[in-house]
Amino acid sequence: MRVKKRLLYAVIAVLNAVSLTAALALTIAGSSIARTQSYNRAARKWDRDGESSQISCYFSDDAGFTTDGVYALRAHLNKTLQDAVSRPDGKTPEIPDAYSTPIGSDLITGDNTGKGEAELTAVGGEFFLFRDFRLLSGAYFSDRDLMQDGAVIERSLAWTLYGSANVAGQNIYIGGVQFYIAAVIDDPTDKYQKRTINELPRVYVSYKGAEQLPSVRYSSQEQGYGGYTGGDAPAQLRKVSCYECIMYDPVENFAYSTVNKYLKDMYKGKYKAVNNTKRFTSSAMVKAYKKRSDYAVRKDTITYPYWENASRIAEFKISPLYYIRRLCFVIPALTSVWLLWVLFRLAKKGGKAFISTISDKYTKAAYSRRQKKDNI
């Protein structure tokens, strides 16, 4: 009987050890994949105290979300946060944000003979705060710059045009329009990002700079806006397909709920909101596993940028690992319940023995006192 019990205990111990080891291995594997998607950690770069969340929103082509929508959303977020947060200094935490949209491809030339085609993206706000680009030379532009004719280009294009990555300040021409190279960034190196991009390098210009491009103006004419000669940009030039912000979270999910509720009322079914900060948590990954079919069968017309597609691939890879990891805790959990039951029985049995011992001692003491009294 004792041999059988020892064998049973040994089997239980081995199963628990294997389960916990498997859970640890799956955690390490999932975490290593999540770390490659560093663009989801912009809030941690901005707020070292970890009290803010990064929210990203992606819009379908027919959503009609423009730069005017960005300004309205900014005002709403600042007002909501001001009402929710009371600080001794009376200041409301900043809400850095960014917006962008792809504007096609065009021929890029330099002052030398180099030339090459590249994909163009119009960006606004603190766009480069949210990216995990590796800066090779120069500095990023922003909305605060007086001149909006800067461009950020990838290393491969810099080498095609000038034979070097250290070319910040040099001129480039996009469709014949002159820009200066504000910064050179490295090409995407993450394997998931590489799977979501084509062979063309990428160029990032401001919305104001994009208004000068003939290809964008021509696209606007095709959309029925007529000849664009300056002034207020038509909707095609103000279109926003990606909006991102970092917002202070006084309570859990405050930032995500605030953004999502505002957009849901106006763009229901035409956008997707993501809480990047909590994206790769265990609970989020288990939920993602249950919705894996959404990755295979798309029910929306949203075109995601390559960095978001890379994170979606990572989610697809990680979610089954975390789901299996949760199953690995079943045996340790059942073992814990069994041990608590055993301890309870031992305590109960021991408690009865203890009470019985105390009772016997008390009875003997009382009998001894009576004996002494009788003898007297």
pLDDT tens per residue across span 170-224? 999 998 899 999 999 999 988 888 888 888 999 999 999 998 888 775 544 444 3
Phi-psi region of 220 (alpha: psi -120 to 50; beta: other; left: phi over 0): alpha
Q: Report angle CA 82, 84, 90 to the nearest 5 degrees.
A: 45
CA gap 96, 127 in Å, rounded: 9
pLDDT for the residue numbered 221: 41
Q: 295: which 2 tokens?
A: 């990755």
Residue whose pair of structure tokens reads 């949209």 in the numeric block: 101
The predicted pLDDT at position 288 comes to: 78
d(CA 150, CA 129): 16
Q: Please list the residue range(s) of the chain that carry CATH number 3.30.70.
A: 41-95+241-277
Q: Do 173 and 167 touch, CB atoms closer than 8 A?
A: no
| Lowest-confidence pick of 12-21, 208-217, 228-237, 263-272 | 228-237
Nearest Cα to 242, choosing from 131, 76, 108? 131
DSSP 292: T
Distances (CA, A) of 97 to 123, 347, 352: 11, 59, 67
Is the predicted pLDDT of residue 73 greater than 90, yes or no? yes
Fill in the amino acid letter for 320: P
258-267: long-range contacts, CB 8 A cutoff, minimum separation 24: 258/76, 258/77, 258/80, 258/81, 259/55, 259/57, 259/73, 259/77, 262/73, 262/76, 262/77, 263/57, 263/73, 267/59, 267/63, 267/64, 267/65
Q: How far, in Å, CA of 235 to CA of 145, rounded?
A: 23
Q: State the greatest distance between any 2 C-alpha atoms of the chain, in Å, as a whole number.
A: 127
Of residues 124 and 287, the one with the higher pLDDT is: 124
For the record, the structure tokens of 63 come out as: 């959503």
Which pair of tokens denotes residue 23? Answer: 């859970």
Asked whether residue 88 carries a pLDDT value surpassing 80, the answer given is no
Spatial distance between the Cα atoms of 181 and 114, rounded to a whole number of angstroms:
15
**Least reliable range by pLDDT among 68-77, 214-223, 242-251:** 214-223
CA-nearest of 38, 108, 99, 54 to 73 is: 99
Q: Is the confidence at residue 111, as pLDDT, over 80?
A: yes
157-161, 196-200, 363-367: segment of lowest average pLDDT: 363-367
Q: Closest by alpha carbon to 70, among 148, 7, 122, 17?
A: 122
pLDDT at 84 over 90: no
Tokens of residue 266, six digits: 């106006």
Q: Using 50, 70 and 90 to split pLDDT, how confident is the model at 367?
A: low
Mean pLDDT taken over the chain: 84
Of 289, 337, 333, 340, residue with least CA distance to 23: 333
Q: Six-digit token pair at 124?
A: 């606004």
pLDDT band of 35, cuts 50, 70, 90: confident
Structure tokens at 349: 């049995």
Q: Based on C-alpha coordinates, what's the Rg of the chain?
A: 32
In this prediction the pTM is 0.80
Residue 363: Cβ within 10 Å count: 10
Label the pairing between strands 242-248 and 97-110: antiparallel
Reported as a single tens digit per residue, the pLDDT across 318-362 is: 888 888 888 888 888 888 888 888 888 877 776 555 555 555 555
CATH architecture of the region 41-95+241-277? 2-Layer Sandwich (3.30)
Average pLDDT (298-322) is: 85
Residue with more model confidence, 125 or 363 = 125
pLDDT band at 93 (very low <50, low <70, confident <90, very high): confident
What was the pLDDT predicted at 250?
Answer: 87
Cβ atoms 98, 126 nearer than 8 A: yes
